[in-house]
Structure 1
Amino acid sequence: MTRTHDIVQKLWNLCNDLRDDGVTYHQYVTELTYLLFLKMAKETVQEDQIPPENRWDALKARSAPERLDHYRRTLLDLGKANASLVQQIYADASSFIKKPATLSKLVTDIDGLDWYAVDKESLGDLYEGLLQRNAGEKKSGAGQYFTPRPLIDSVVAVMQPKSTDVIQDPAAGTGGFLIAADHYVKAHEDVYDWPEEQQKKYFETTFYGMELVQDTHRLALMNLMLHGLANDPERSGIFQGDTLSDEHEKMPKATLILSNPPFGTKKGGGEPTRQDLTYRTSNKQFSFLQHIYRSLKPGGRAAVILPDNVLFESGVGKQIRADLMEKCNLHTILRLPTGIFYAQGVKTNVLFLTRGQTDTGNTQEVWVYDLRANMPQFGKRTPLTREHFAEFERAFGDDPTGSAAALAKRTDMGEEGRFRKFTREQVRERGDSLDISWLKDDSALSGDLPEPTQLAEEALGELSGAMEELRAILLELGATPEELEAVGAED
């Protein structure tokens, strides 16, 4: 792991070579993906999908002055390649590099790294380490799609993926949840001891996802490929597309969904183009939530990260929560600490649910674990670690479905504790609001105030929630489109 970390650091330091070319952090990671794919295909002896004239050695053999032109032609050629994986990684690819000397230094430095110090299984960890560095840089804006690894690992641990699951992430980002699920399965089952046909079935029919943004999709494909999960992206893996359109049909019904959907409203304020969602709304979180519980097979389970407004908004939000609790057993909510995502002001939760065998009366009680009150301000000085979730994992128990028998073993810690039970009737009395807190947050009184930008972001988040509630009330009162636009419905 130390050698892998060293190579990640050296790759990240190469970004300095691109600053004079005006290349951003995110562009750098994309550019590096184009080059690393060629280099790693050579290192892992998987160049058969790449024409000889487009391979790493062909690029390296060019003289420095002509290398940039050759590289640009290579990107165009691979974007039209017959091999599906290659074509999707290089689809519409173009280089941000303007100076031949810059590319030559990148090629020379990448070629000079000690690749033999990293075994094949660690190449995926190396690349994911690079993505994590990119997400940690606020200038890159990449934190919006990179869920913190400690949170992913904790969620995956309590959901206990199995090789027999069909696992889906409808907002896949760079594939973190799917890769963590694969790691968990391999740690608990002897995947590589299975017959070849069983291994093939596992790698090709277990993991599915969808990502809207093309650049993020290519990063996800590279990530999955290095973890052995993107052998045939036409049949499995992460598709590029819009889950809130009919493209969602590319993903089969799932027995396990793990996801961190995007926050905000659909671009242009429009509703999803797919017609199968019962409750129409431009709010992406509510639309993704409907997709998730509709896409579960009976008995299937899900863990989804959602902002606070999903727990309390009235109007269509209340209807969706009620529908969710009818169709699913919403057995656990984890209130997450603030400041663990790029958007510091966004307060988030993890909802754990299991689709019922029938569509009525599935939620009998909801357990809320408050990991937000009296927690440190997480950031570079206080990094989030897996240990911060240890008590939650113990309290959650060993049943990922939240069955009645498992919930009966849980302990309500009372008003002074972090874990409490609320019956369905108590939730109903609250107007089906799931925004439940009870602990006095002493950290808010300690004088250790957040940064002004964080306070501003939190204020904007609260204002956005209030605006959504106002729109819902206006809709219920029969407001016209013009009246809705007057309160910012098209923002």
Structure 2
Amino acid sequence: MIQGELRSRIDRVWDAFWSGGISNPLEVIEQITYLLFLRRLDDLQDNAERKARFTGSPIENPVYLTGQEHLRWKNLRELSPDQMFVRMSGEVFPYLQNLGHQLSGGDSTFTQHMKGARFTIPNAQLLTKVVDMLDQVPMENRDTNGDLYEYMLSKLATSGTNGQFRTPRHIIELMVDLMAPKPGDRIVDPACGTAGFLVAASEYLREHHEELFRDAKHRKAFHTSMFSGFDFDSTMLRIGSMNMLMHGVENPEIAYRDSLSEGAAGEESRYTLILANPPFAGSLDYDTTSSDLLRMVKTKKTELLFLALFLRLLEPGGRAAVIVPDGVLFGSSKAHKELRKAIVEDQKLDAVIKLPSGVFRPYAGVSTAILLFTKTDSGGTEDVWFYDVRADGFSLDDKRNPIDDTDLPDVRKRWAERHGSEKDRARTEQSFCVPKAEIVEQGYDLSLNRYKEIEYEEVEHRDPADIIADIKQLNAEIDRELAELEEMLR
């Protein structure tokens, strides 16, 4: 995470936005995102010009055409505050909105999302502060870029506004570590928001699979076809696309789509890994919901429909780590039971990891769990691994302050042993395995408490007659001392 002067600059700019009347953290990040993209375009033009000079050939796919040089970042920052403000609102943003049409062959998902860009910075003084701050960011450093953006996104959660878009980073990293993405994976988040899962997966691959970047074919796949994310909020798509770009993934598939709708067809069996925390509030109208999903599970509950969607999106052998509300684990409706039965009987349920109820505070106190499963279409569930996470490294109140107590390293360690020593652990432990036959016997109930055994310590109580005698003795002593006090006061 960024520290020092750069962090202080961002905090000051953030405060300036609020003072200027922009209090929605999504809008703040969106405006900063546009300017970050504008600066990146300048760097891309510089690289294209250097290549042209070296080869002696014309510039390929120029970002800025003849007559557009005055719109470049390096020229804008030389203007006075008032001049910069007028040019930004009157010329630069119309240019950004039409950039996708201008770039022939070099179009990206982010330029497509920029079509709806709106300039809402209220005054020249604030614009100058933001430009000065961003001008200090070393854009050639992927780690710094990523840390800058992560710090801004963290303000979505701390603000208490629109925080529902943000899954805690340490929970995302846990899920990615358990899934261990590998070269060749096609990774999707059908409700991607800020693209946190996709970013974490890309960082995992950079750290654990350097061979990806030594091969031109694999490197191209990493930047174009390995990561897919869908959302139906245009603002989130712009922010998510920039998040990926700032973390060094150049052109992922980040697209506008209602993943549960009838129009989201053609995706069946396309992906090898799903990482997601889909929305699980409210319900949908049957008229807008995919008939394929409704054939799998007849319900209006989004959490069940998303589970059905995950099974549809995965190819056989594909894996998923997804967050679900506790009701999915033990709900008694026909749809709940049928979906759990399908996962246990027709696919391979690997694990249920119960999360503390405070993980999503301050904006939600709902109890959740992580489901980990593999699509087989031929069964395969044997022993299901359960883990009861009681501490995640943060206080479980609205403040979510860092604490020393955390079970997450132990989750990673014991997940690796789930086929070995974990099978011998008692049901009184924090993690244990449950055979499929017992889950079937319990009506496919997947709640941890259904299988956990609680040890009760035997407590020896004193004889009530002895306690009453002690009380009488104490009362007698009190009466005696009160009588002595009265004598003293006469």
**What is the TM-score when the length of structure 1 is the normalising length?**
0.78
Matches of 2:356 and 2:317 in 1, distance apart? Answer: 30
Matches of 2:2 and 2:122 in 1, distance apart? Answer: 34
- Aligned partner letter, 1:426: E
Structure 1 residues 257 and 374: alpha-carbon distance in aligned structure 2, compared to 1, 3 A threshold? closer
Match of 1:52 among 66, 69, 80: 69
SS at match of 2:244: helix
SS at match of 2:118: coil
For 2:487, the equivalent position in structure 1 comes to none
For 2:226, the equivalent position in structure 1 comes to 206
Matches of 1:430 and 1:119 in 2, distance apart? Answer: 53
For 2:437, the equivalent position in structure 1 comes to 425
Retained in 1: the 8 A contact 2:268–2:312? no
For 1:456, the equivalent position in structure 2 comes to none
Retained in 2: the 8 A contact 1:150–1:384? no
How far apart are residue 163 of structure 1 and its match? 1.0
How far apart are residue 301 of structure 1 and its match? 1.0
- Does residue 68 in structure 1 map to residue 82 in structure 2? no
Retained in 1: the 8 A contact 2:422–2:432? no
Matches of 1:295 and 1:374 in 2, distance apart? Answer: 30
Match of 2:302 among 255, 272, 284: 284
- Does residue 344 in structure 1 map to residue 364 in structure 2? yes
Query: How do 1:19-168 residues align onto structure 2 when only pairs under 5 Å count?
Result: 19-24=18-23, 25-43=25-43, 45=46, 48-50=62-64, 52-73=69-90, 74-81=92-99, 82=101, 83=103, 84-85=107-108, 86-111=110-135, 113=136, 115-116=137-138, 119-138=141-160, 140-141=161-162, 143-168=163-188
Deviations 1:307-360 (A, max 9, x none): 11111222211111111222211120000012121433211100010111xx34
How far apart are residue 173 of structure 1 and its match? 1.4
Structure 1 residues 165 and 392: alpha-carbon distance in aligned structure 2, compared to 1, 3 A threshold? same
Retained in 2: the 8 A contact 1:8–1:127? no
Matches of 1:340 and 1:251 in 2, distance apart? Answer: 32
- Aligned partner letter, 1:120: R
Structure 1 residues 189 and 78: alpha-carbon distance in aligned structure 2, compared to 1, 3 A threshold? same
Higher relative contact order by CA 8 Å / sep ≥ 6: 1 or 2? Answer: 1
Retained in 1: the 8 A contact 2:385–2:434? yes
SS at match of 2:345: helix
**What is the TM-score when the length of structure 2 is the normalising length?**
0.78
Gaps of 5+ in 1: 399-405, 443-491
For 1:240, the equivalent position in structure 2 comes to 256
Structure 1 residues 192 and 276: alpha-carbon distance in aligned structure 2, compared to 1, 3 A threshold? closer
SS at match of 2:115: coil
For 1:170, the equivalent position in structure 2 comes to 190
Deviations 1:359-412 (A, max 9, x none): 3433233221111489952554533789530111111116xxxxxxx6354234
Matches of 1:257 and 1:370 in 2, distance apart? Answer: 23
Gaps of 5+ in 2: 49-61, 457-490
- Does residue 298 in structure 1 map to residue 298 in structure 2? no
How far apart are residue 43 of structure 1 and its match? 5.0
Matches of 1:255 and 1:20 in 2, distance apart? Answer: 46
Percentage of identical aligned residues? 29
SS at match of 2:322: strand
How far apart are residue 270 of structure 1 and its match? 4.3
Structure 1 residues 242 and 230: alpha-carbon distance in aligned structure 2, compared to 1, 3 A threshold? farther
Matches of 2:139 and 2:5 in 1, distance apart? Answer: 10
How far apart are residue 106 of structure 1 and its match? 2.5
How far apart are residue 172 of structure 1 and its match? 1.1
Structure 1 residues 64 and 117: alpha-carbon distance in aligned structure 2, compared to 1, 3 A threshold? closer
For 2:279, the equivalent position in structure 1 comes to 262
Matches of 1:79 and 1:386 in 2, distance apart? Answer: 48
How far apart are residue 272 of structure 1 and its match? 4.7
Q: Out of 209-218 and 115-124, give the one that drifted further.
A: 115-124
SS at match of 1:164: coil
How far apart are residue 184 of structure 1 and its match? 1.3
Alignment RMSD, CA only? 2.9
For 2:467, the equivalent position in structure 1 comes to none
Matches of 1:58 and 1:374 in 2, distance apart? Answer: 47
Structure 1 residues 163 and 101: alpha-carbon distance in aligned structure 2, compared to 1, 3 A threshold? same
How far apart are residue 67 of structure 1 and its match? 2.7
Deviations 1:274-293 (A, max 9, x none): 22112132211111111112
- Does residue 218 in structure 1 map to residue 238 in structure 2? yes
Retained in 1: the 8 A contact 2:156–2:166? no
How far apart are residue 440 of structure 1 and its match? 6.1
